[in-house]
Amino acid sequence: MRTIALVGCGSQKRDLEDEQVVRIDQLYTSTYFQLKREYAQACCDDYYILSAKFGLVPPAALVAESYDLTVHDLDDDALAAWVARIDNRLTSISADATLVVLAGQAYIDPLRDTLNDAPPDVFYPFADTEGIGEQMGWLSREIETAE
């Protein structure tokens, strides 16, 4: 069975020059995001980035803008549309896969029903952690074990 990570985006982003285009996995600059990406690359078969602006996108997706948007900024209609887009995307990528959700509660909560209806197994490794520091420690240990 394949393992697919859903990696939450980050608030720290590169400043893009006019008409500059980057892969979305290179847009986010925090150490926390980088560790989640490294974990996904080392421990999973594939991964997608969970973004309030772009939805659920592959890491090689190209973006031409930095942005400052979280799910908390979405009104009810926009949030419902965001959840529907992610639900459609998950349906196409997750058949017979285990999902590893590396995102904060703000992103998980609106997707809870979608994730519960997803593939056979959904793993939330951060569920019992107390903050980003503990999550980063878990990620580092898992990456080291995988190497």
- Among 72-86, 92-106, 117-131, top mean pLDDT goes to 72-86
* Structure confidence by residue, pLDDT tens digits, 24-50: 999 999 999 999 999 999 999 999 999
- Does residue 111 have a pLDDT over 80? yes
Extents of the domains making up the chain: 2-138
- The answer, yes or no, to whether residue 119 has pLDDT greater than 70, is no
Q: What kind and span of H or E run contains 40?
A: helix 31-43
Per-residue burial over 40-72, b = 16 or more CB atoms within 10 Å of its CB, e = otherwise: bbebbeebbbbbbbbbbbebebebeeeeeeebe
Give 58's pLDDT tier (boundaries 50, 70, 90): very high
77 — pLDDT class (breaks 50, 70, 90): very high
The whole model's pTM is what? 0.92
